[in-house]
Amino acid sequence: MRFRNSLYAIIAVALAASTACGDSKDTTTPTIDISKLDSGNYPTTPRDMESTRTTDSGANLESVRIGNSVPLPFEIDGKFAFQRLASVDGRTTLKSPATMTSIASKEFPDLAQGLVAGWESSGERRKNPWVGSSVIIDTLRFSDATKAETAARRLANRQAEVDPGETVTIPGHPSARAKWSPVKRTLDSFLAHDSMLLYVYITDPVSEPVDTAPLIAFTQAAFTKSIEALKNYSPTPIEQLGSLPLDTDGLLGRTLPLEDRQMSISGIDRTRLMTARSALPSETFPALSKAAFDDAGVDLVAYSGEKVFRTRDVSSTVRLIAALIDQRSDGYRSIDAPPNLPDAKCFDTKDKKTSELSYPPVCYLAYDRYVAKVQGTNVQEAYQKAAAQYKLLAYGR
């Protein structure tokens, strides 16, 4: 930890020295000659996101609103500080089903009839999979309380049919349907609350013998904290979902779009605009990212082909970049900045024999109060994406 904090400080000082200019109160965007940036064939003109609206957009946007309200695994138990999946999209709809043990995705729409929108987050106790407990939390909104209760019953019954187990009582939540599977070593719990359905999955793959008491305690806390947090969630009337805004201040439209090869196997477009809070489940180290976001005043995060953060002010970009670099420093080595973009901070895989997929070439750059993280399959691609992303942020300004 001492090394990590020292590295953070060194990076922050170096970034500040390389970007500071003007008065001592703030930093300003350095002068970059846009015409000299090699952006390859990547787009450099902002998109009108409204033209991408579909019949599914309203549910996806409402999912983000739910995600902005509910607790994350590490907030329920600080031991769940990791999130190992590379590109998590917490939005849950009938077309993008929740992850539930022993329930096939194709079965979910029929079992969860009346689903409006939902949110999913996950966490692990250890950085590497299957060496410690992991959790998944789903918060699903239905059209009414009856639909939520029906879905809870049908999902729990189907799960028990496929994977029989022992009935468990969750203290403080007597109406919850909970089942411990000795074979899969998982505790799955469903709780209907008004028009919401809460699902908590927790597993312990390593303890011998398994003590279910900590798993039950986590589930109890997850239900209690989720119900309390949902008091701050105001459901958008179903007939108004289609009018929820797709973009805020044009940030998503200024983010590099997804390429065909970046699309998910299901074909679902993962492009989305998040608040800082709803962006945390997509971060590898959500607890560290929360501290970094709070420090830099991040309010919006755009996800598409690449990632863009909006901070409180120009000077905050320095600290955010330092924090983002620090989180992944173990697997990277520093490389030169892209041509004519001297203040970008770029890194390549430290050991190509073992970590190239986990640590692809990446660049961090700042424009005004925005920070962008771009990566490529090789260094040249990362450089061109960095140039294109800079042009998008600077376009018309």
pTM, entire model: 0.88
Q: Where in the chain is the domain with CATH 3.40.1000?
A: 57-62+70-232
The answer on pLDDT for 26 being more than 90 is no
Token readout for 149 is 């209760």
Q: Region 244-273: what's the mean pLDDT?
A: 86
Q: What pLDDT, on a 0 to 100 scale, did the predictor assign at position 171? A: 98
Please say whether the beta carbons of 75 and 112 come within 8 A. no
Q: What pLDDT, on a 0 to 100 scale, did the predictor assign at position 10? A: 38
pLDDT-wise least confident of 8-12, 144-148, 159-163: 8-12
The answer on pLDDT for 120 being more than 50 is yes
Q: What pLDDT, on a 0 to 100 scale, did the predictor assign at position 86? A: 57
302-324 tens-digit pLDDT: 999 999 999 999 999 999 999 99
CB neighbour list of residue 271: distance below 8 Å, 6 or more residues apart:
52, 252, 257, 258, 303, 304
The answer on pLDDT for 262 being more than 80 is no
In the sheet that holds 272-275, the strands lie side by side as: 272-275, 300-303, 307-310, 370-375, 362-367, 345-349, 332-335
What is the average pLDDT value for the chain, to the nearest integer? Answer: 90
Q: Region 254-268: what's the mean pLDDT?
A: 78
* Side chain identity at residue 78, one-letter code: G
Q: What pLDDT, on a 0 to 100 scale, did the predictor assign at position 348? A: 95
Q: What pLDDT, on a 0 to 100 scale, did the predictor assign at position 126? A: 83
The percentage of the chain sitting over the pLDDT mark of 90, rounded to a whole number, equals: 79
Q: Which CATH number does the domain 57-62+70-232 belong to among 2.40.128, 3.40.1000, 1.25.40, 3.40.50?
A: 3.40.1000
Phi/psi-derived region of residue 47, left when phi > 0, alpha when psi is between -120 and 50, beta in every other case: beta
The answer on pLDDT for 9 being more than 90 is no
